[in-house]
Structure 1
Amino acid sequence: MPSILSNNAVVSSSRSSTAQLISSAPRCHNPATTAGNTPVLWIDQPFAPPGRGFWAKLEGFNPGGVKDRPALHMIAAAKERGELRPGARIVESTSGSFGLGLALAGTVHRHPVTLVTDPELEPNIHRMLTAYGARVETVSEPDPSGGWQQARRERVQEILDATPDAYCPDQYHNPDNITAYAPLALELVSQLGRVDILVCSVGTGGHSAGISQVLREFFPHLTLIGVDTIGSTIFGQPAQSRLMRGLGSSIYPRNVDYAAFDEVHWVAPAEAVWACRALATTHHASGGWSTGAVALVAGWAARTCDLDTRIAAVFPDGPHRYFDTVYNDDYCAHHDLLTVSPPSTPDTIARSADRIVSRWTRCGNVVDPIQATEIMRPRMRILP
């Protein structure tokens, strides 16, 4: 009969062997290292039949969402180039997600952060940004042509002019926003082995350009599908008031790589809400407007492509900032977002200038609207 000591040794040895088989989360000595290495989740019904789903990259597992990646990268790159001086203030326009990333970057690199937003920012995100140490300023009136986005950018410039050594990373036009997503692309290569179709929402243009550029080094025939919101001007539609935040734009970000896209889909708010709630009830995974819109389009791709097509879709964040919008029945009822189920297929237009879209619509002819025909230009303000 073995002694108590020998029994303990056996138990200890058994636990040690078991522990060696467990892949533990990394030990992080710096909050920056908590970002990245996010999981992928298989999504099928109700978006596609069994066996015809897509892989969702769950960027909501980052501390603040997908834009933690460019915020950390852009600030580190600016410091390395000497553009951001030690202790200088970081100033940026944000609708929320990039602000969360910059608050993280400010903590990591010890810089004060001022974020310029607008009255449509969710109150809980405003409170979290303040809790993370950022100073939050809110513009009061939208720009007549460029909307809230341009009004925020003009206020950023005023702060920069009045603040010595202040630095603006300019997520809309800074190419560091693109290169920041190389690690995400390499994660997809490691996780999936092959990617045939990539589905991305488009706002600043950073993650669609950055991920697709790297993936095409491995998979030259990759198809890139962009997802925009109705009312956005990025792909040549006229700028209008937009209910959905986090995707779309009322300006033309230079980071958008128009040549990289094989097609673009515009999605309406009610269609995105349906998808978000369907994700939540069927896969216990969801997010905001962008996530719902991307899931809707990725599901269509899964239904219509060859069975062995491997589809990756980027879900930019989780559901937490959308409790008062996407997941609030009163809010959704007020905006008539609960009475619409999306069609199984989108409308199709030959060119983005053909007509103003009001529901899920796709276009296979993606062009840079600044360089394209003048048909739509009188309705928009072209910004540098």
Structure 2
Amino acid sequence: MNQPTPTARPMPAAQILADAKRPLHTPAGLVGGTPVLWIGAPFTTSDRGFWAKLEGHNPGGIKDRTALHMVRAARERGPLVPGAPLIESTSGTLGLGLALAGATYGHPVTVVTDPGMEPLMTGLLTAYGAEIDVVDTPHPHGGWQEARRRRVTELLALRPDAWCPDQYNNPDNIAAYAPLAHELLAQLGRIDTLVVSVGTGGHSAGIGSVLRGYFPDLRIVGVDTTGSTIFGQPAGPRLMRGLGSSIHPRNVAYDLFDEVHWVAAPESVWAARRLARHHYATGGWSVGAVALVARWVARTAPPEHRIATVFPDGPERYVGTVFDDPYCHRHDLLGHPPADDPDEIGDPRERTVTRWTRCTRVADPLARSAPNALVGAAR
């Protein structure tokens, strides 16, 4: 005798609607609402860990947020007219965001980059309709970034109707990250320490300023790369992309930081690969660097501290670099696990750092003579 097939009790229609994601009319709706994941053992010690905001769940990464916001704000205020070209310098991730903004608002996009851009990123940008302009010679003082910025100026002169977001100095780059900070508040409730990478300064300033408003005693730890000038180190060769700079972006909010850590490329690779193997959540240079520092903060902070960091993108872009053995062997990136603790220096000008190093005196290198130039040590 056939037994009746048991049927599940229907879920209430209101619950179905609450759980379902709404249909979207534009790709911009795919941005935001990214998950937060607990990163614990074996990346950290067994009783410690930190929370990671996985911005790689956006279509192109964290800079989808700022590209959409900067373009939308420029259209509302008038500098960007309908259909005008967008021209910007980027090492990659902002280019994906601008391609998304171009598709959303109807603007052609030109990305000015350098030979270091990965073939995967070049292919994606081309697929999304962006035009790629590659500079071939670094600037003698400002490196590839300055060379790219000067090429942007040349292209803007040829297209007077074009608009450049100027991610390094545009305050809308900072404002774009208030929603991300609010998401972290909703997801975690309380945050005692924020660990963030620093490149253009946008997401560190945007997230940090909002969270500091809720938590006045919030500890903010900036993560830079060796060879970067942002926090006062001399310019040097930089293999890592997505954090660090050879210029001084004015969006960096030096007064927010309690300390800065510089991380070297082999140390970032070690952390990114370990995350991938043990947690299935990883990314490239920035993710490896911030995870390494957050791991140390989790071990050294009081046990009750709630630590949050931001993983700006996912691993896909880095399959030919961070996660490619031949590439890593060519650049001597493997077999150099980081120390348990960073080196310490008392001032960014003390010496040139070549490995993971920490400093609690944070200064704007362009305002060293100002009475309050050293801001991190005062907190």
TM-score normalised by structure 1 residue count: 0.93
**Counterpart code for 2:53:** K
2-side partners of 1:348 and 1:46: how far apart? Answer: 26
1:378 corresponding residue in structure 2: none
Question: Which of the numbers 348, 354, 367 marks the counterpart of 2:344?
Answer: 348
**Counterpart code for 1:153:** R
Q: Which runs of 4+ in 1 moved over 6 A?
A: none
1:334 corresponding residue in structure 2: 330
1:379 corresponding residue in structure 2: none
2:315 aligned with 1:319: yes
**In structure 2, the residue corresponding to 1:236 is in which secondary structure?**
coil
Aligned runs of 1:8-157 on 2, under 5 Å? 11=7, 14-16=10-12, 20=16, 23-157=19-153
**Counterpart code for 2:137:** E
Q: How big is the shift at 1:372?
A: 1.1
- Does the Cα contact within 8 Å between 2:43 and 2:278 map onto a contact in 1? no
2-side partners of 1:323 and 1:179: how far apart? Answer: 32
Identity of aligned residues (%): 61
TM-score normalised by structure 2 residue count: 0.94
Aligned runs of 1:292-303 on 2, under 5 Å? 292-303=288-299
- Would the alpha carbon gap of residues 26 and 275 (structure 1) be closer, same or farther in structure 2, given more than 3 Å must change? farther
2:178 aligned with 1:160: no
Question: Which of the numbers 244, 250, 255 marks the counterpart of 1:254?
Answer: 250
Aligned runs of 1:275-286 on 2, under 5 Å? 275-286=271-282
Question: Which of the numbers 228, 235, 258 marks the counterpart of 1:232?
Answer: 228
**Counterpart code for 2:293:** V
2:375 corresponding residue in structure 1: none
Contiguous gaps of at least 5 residues in structure 2: 371-379
* RMSD of Structure 2 on Structure 1 (CA): 1.8
**Counterpart code for 2:158:** A
Contiguous gaps of at least 5 residues in structure 1: 1-6, 375-384
Q: How big is the shift at 1:24?
A: 2.7
2-side partners of 1:331 and 1:227: how far apart? Answer: 24
Q: How big is the shift at 1:19?
A: 6.0
Q: For residues 113-164 of structure 1, give each alpha carbon's deviation from its aligned partner in whole angstroms, at most 9, with x where no partner exists.
A: 1010000000110011011010100001000100000000000000001102
- Would the alpha carbon gap of residues 88 and 18 (structure 1) be closer, same or farther in structure 2, given more than 3 Å must change? closer
Question: Which of the numbers 247, 254, 272 marks the counterpart of 2:268?
Answer: 272
How many residues matched? 368
1-side partners of 2:332 and 2:345: how far apart? Answer: 26
2-side partners of 1:20 and 1:93: how far apart? Answer: 44
2-side partners of 1:135 and 1:205: how far apart? Answer: 26
**Counterpart code for 1:42:** W
2-side partners of 1:247 and 1:327: how far apart? Answer: 18
